[in-house]
Amino acid sequence: MAIFNYVIKIIISVCSIIGYKGESLAAPLLVTCLKKMEYRGYDSVGIGTINDGKVSVRKGVGRVEDVDSNLLLRVLPGRIGIGHTRWATHGKVTEKNAHPHTSCNGEIAVVHNGIIQNYSELKSKLMRKGHIFRSETDSEVIAHLLEEDYVSSGDLRGAVLNTAKKLTGAFSFIAAFSDGTIAGARFDEPLIVGISNDGYYISSDVIGFLNYTDRAIFLDNRDIVILKGSEMEMISFDGAPVMRPVTQVAWEFGGIDKGTYAHYTIKEINEQVETIFKSGKGQEDKIEQVSELLKSAPFVYFTGSGTSYHCALVAKALLSKYGRRKSDAIMSSEFQYLVNDIEPDPVIVAISQSGETADVLEVVKKAKPLGSKIISIVNVPTSSLARLSDISISMNCGPEIGVAATKSFTSQLTILYAIIDRLSGGVIGLENQRTKLQNAVKELVEGQKLIEQIANEIKNAKDIYVLGRSIHYPIALEGALKIKELSYVHAEGIPAGELKHGPLALIDKNSCVLVLNPNDSTFDDVKANAHEIKARGASLIGIGSSPSDVYDRFIAIPEVDEVLLPILEVIPFQVIAYYLALEKNANPDYPRNLAKSVTVK
Ligand code: F6R
């Protein structure tokens, strides 16, 4: 059992679920909704509909479009249905493991997002009672639990309640019953009801139904929604009625077309010309409030995962240098174990594009009851993190569909610059430099040809090292992360000053090293490091504003105040990673094994 728990904890869960009940035909709607949500998970897909008291299911392996054209998902009959895109967690990528899963009597179909931790005990019990399982998934237990309860009691509502209460882990599920009822339940995974003129949606992501309605109800943890006849009932896991407000969701969240770009990733890289300029604008009040809070806080913690953690590292450096405040940056996957031992009454700044990252939420959920104030910087203002925060600032950079974070990183960074600028009485001078910054971003994204060439030249490198010092070190980490996740080439960010303390042993004529060598206090030391690397025969690419012979290739960063350089320096890495992915025939939008929101630890 201990081993089993460990295994499920490191798995990521990133499926999308959707349900519809209304006046329109369900299947074509569900196919469109699933295409919108596909960016979250995408190895298999399925739809189940109810028509004339009969449940029909079609499912298969592949992208929504392919499975739909092979199996004609969209022709399933009925005005009630559920759908799912799967990113395998329990069980291989097979048609059998794709959702929906059905009960033995075929009268209940279920789609699920998350992890059912106790599924193996539940499955054994159900098998002893004669239930036959057809998949290797944890999700299938939900269909059998519902059946077991419903068949013996005849009480659908009670069956949903009892089933939800028996599950442990993090989950949201939607069940469709042959009598035409749809029910959804949420525990630690998002679930949202969409209310349109012709019916109801239940979805793991507003993007799923935003083409049809912008009126949404965000269910809370332990909420259940039941759509029976034309009625909607909302109750908690203990059966008591609950009321949740209807929210109007911003339509800009729906704008997720690639336009003329080949991939979302390159579209989103290019969009930074606008998004960096806009970040934080219109939220000056909140920026002011947060800067006051940080000023008076006994201690500040910045936290996040992956790219958002790299942003936290830059924020810590800025707060110390310009705000003269004590702070720490701790990655959320580690921070959650330290929460009980942190400084008293701190402010925690949680950074997350999705606002649904389980590790970040875990930190916040543990720290909040201990008296921490929670500030969040998110791109999804309706996300769980935003709703758990005392103050939440939105990145407002529009939906980021490419799995690798690009524009969200520079947006979150710019917002943190704005907060620290405010707190330090304007010493950074961000606002006066916005236009200059925007022009610099434009110059960088327009310089993609050179970077494309560089990507071609380094495409056979087995290992890529990225070096930086001081505030540029987090950018070295972020640059290496972009390269490894998009191109699958091993890449490592290294503090340049640590080179001689070990990593230099790795460098030889086959190594490729990218060096952040800006014109600031780190310039001479980094250049000396570049010479040491050159002496070992490695190929060297410099990134900065003073080209030098030591570099085989040089990517020029336009002149801005040195404090703003990290915002610009990351862009060449995003572009290199994108073109390296193309060189390797990898799809930059959907790196293997990764998903956009990692909603389970
Ligand atoms: C890297 C990347 C991930 C995310 C991380 C946190 O390109 O996308 O490392 O940054 O999973 O996600 P959010 O910011 O949504 O909490």
Task: Convert the pLDDT of each residue in 440-492 to its tens digit.
Answer: 999 999 989 999 999 999 999 999 999 999 999 999 999 999 999 999 999 99
Q: Which atom of ligand 1 is nearest to the CA of 408?
A: 14
Which pair of structure tokens corresponds to residue 7?
A: 């295994």
**Alpha carbon distance 395, 277 (integer Å):** 11
* Amino acid type, 202: I
Q: Are 523 and 550 in contact (CB under 8 A)?
A: no
Instruction: Among 269, 308, 483, name the best residue to mutate to test ligand 1's pocket (greatest count of ligand atoms within 8 A of Cβ).
Output: 308
For the segment 256-289, what is each residue's pLDDT rounded down to a tens digit? 667 789 998 999 999 999 999 999 999 999 999 9
Kindly list the catalytic residues: 15, 596
**Do strands 539-544 and 512-516 pair parallel, antiparallel, or not at all (unpaired)?**
parallel
How many angstroms is it from 405 CA to the middle of ligand 1? Answer: 6
How many angstroms is it from 351 CA to the middle of ligand 1? Answer: 10
pLDDT confidence bin for 363, thresholds 50/70/90: very high
Instruction: Among 334, 353, 483, name the best residue to mutate to test ligand 1's pocket (greatest count of ligand atoms within 8 A of Cβ).
Output: 353
How many angstroms is it from 39 CA to the middle of ligand 1? Answer: 14
E strand or H helix that includes residue 469:
none
Task: Flag whether pLDDT at 245 surpasses 90.
Answer: no
Strand order in 223-228's β-sheet? 101-102, 108-116, 169-177, 182-187, 223-228, 231-236
Give φ, ψ of 335 to 5 degrees: -60, -35
Q: Which atom of ligand 1 is nearest to the CA of 385?
A: 16
pLDDT for 13 equals 46
Q: Is 307 in the pocket of ligand 1 (CB under 6 A)?
A: yes
Q: Which atom of ligand 1 is nearest to the CA of 359?
A: 16
For the segment 11-25, what is each residue's pLDDT rounded down to a tens digit? 334 689 999 999 999
pLDDT confidence bin for 197, thresholds 50/70/90: very high
Beta bridge mates, 554: 542
**Alpha carbon distance 30, 336 (integer Å):** 37
Residue whose Cα lies nearest atom 6 of ligand 1: it is 305
Best CA proximity match to 257, nearest among 431, 375, 401: 401
pLDDT for 2 equals 32
**Alpha carbon distance 398, 332 (integer Å):** 24
How many angstroms is it from 353 CA to the middle of ligand 1? Answer: 7
Q: Is 306 in the pocket of ligand 1 (CB under 6 A)?
A: yes
Side-chain-side CA neighbours of 18 within 13 Å: the count stands at 31
Q: Are 599 and 14 in contact (CB under 8 A)?
A: yes
- Average the pLDDT over 338-352 and give the result: 94
Q: Are 342 and 300 in contact (CB under 8 A)?
A: no
Measured CA to CA in angstroms, residue 131 lies from 106, 117, 146, 221 at distances of 12, 19, 12, 29
* Amino acid type, 395: M
Which pair of structure tokens corresponds to residue 530?
A: 């570049």
pTM for the full predicted model = 0.75
Average pLDDT, the chain: 92
* Amino acid type, 154: G
For the segment 200-223, what is each residue's pLDDT rounded down to a tens digit? 999 998 889 988 998 889 898 999
For the segment 103-124, what is each residue's pLDDT rounded down to a tens digit? 999 999 999 999 999 999 999 9
Q: Are 115 and 31 in contact (CB under 8 A)?
A: no
How many angstroms is it from 95 CA to the middle of ligand 1? Answer: 29
**Alpha carbon distance 119, 133 (integer Å):** 12
**Do strands 373-378 and 463-468 pair parallel, antiparallel, or not at all (unpaired)?**
unpaired
Q: Which atom of ligand 1 is nearest to the CA of 406?
A: 7
Asked which of 74-88, 89-103, 585-599 is least confident by mean pLDDT, the reply is 585-599
- Average the pLDDT over 130-136 and give the result: 97
pLDDT confidence bin for 329, thresholds 50/70/90: very high
How many angstroms is it from 310 CA to the middle of ligand 1? Answer: 10
Give φ, ψ of 174 to 5 degrees: -130, 130
Residues in Cβ contact with 10 at an 8 Å cutoff, skipping those fewer than 6 apart = 601
Residue whose Cα lies nearest atom 9 of ligand 1: it is 306
Chain centroid, CA 135 distance in Å: 28
Q: Is 352 in the pocket of ligand 1 (CB under 6 A)?
A: yes
Dihedral (CA of 437, 440, 446, 450) sign: negative
Q: Which atom of ligand 1 is nearest to the CA of 403?
A: 8
Q: Are 494 and 477 in contact (CB under 8 A)?
A: no
Task: Flag whether pLDDT at 581 surpasses 80.
Answer: yes
Q: Is 522 in the pocket of ligand 1 (CB under 6 A)?
A: no
**Alpha carbon distance 47, 86 (integer Å):** 11
pLDDT for 126 equals 98
Which pair of structure tokens corresponds to residue 343?
A: 């400084």
Residue whose Cα lies nearest atom 5 of ligand 1: it is 306
Instruction: Among 13, 307, 384, 408, name the best residue to mutate to test ligand 1's pocket (greatest count of ligand atoms within 8 A of Cβ).
Output: 307
How many angstroms is it from 181 CA to the middle of ligand 1? Answer: 36
Which pair of structure tokens corresponds to residue 436?
A: 């200059």
For residue 356, what is the DSSP state? -
Task: Flag whether pLDDT at 544 surpasses 90.
Answer: yes
Q: Is 270 in the pocket of ligand 1 (CB under 6 A)?
A: no
- Average the pLDDT over 144-171 and give the result: 97
Q: Is 339 in the pocket of ligand 1 (CB under 6 A)?
A: no
Q: Looking up tokens 């191109």, which residue turns up?
A: 487
**Do strands 463-468 and 512-516 pair parallel, antiparallel, or not at all (unpaired)?**
parallel
For the segment 57-83, what is each residue's pLDDT rounded down to a tens digit? 999 999 899 999 999 999 999 999 999
Q: Are 423 and 294 in contact (CB under 8 A)?
A: yes
Domains of the chain by start residue, with CATH: 11-253 (3.60.20.10), 260-446 (3.40.50.10490), 448-601 (3.40.50.10490)
Q: Is 394 in the pocket of ligand 1 (CB under 6 A)?
A: no
Which pair of structure tokens corresponds to residue 355?
A: 């606002």
**Alpha carbon distance 150, 81 (integer Å):** 19
**Alpha carbon distance 227, 156 (integer Å):** 11
Percent of the chain with pLDDT over 70: 95
Q: Which atom of ligand 1 is nearest to the CA of 306?
A: 9
pLDDT confidence bin for 382, thresholds 50/70/90: confident
For the segment 461-473, what is each residue's pLDDT rounded down to a tens digit? 999 999 999 999 9
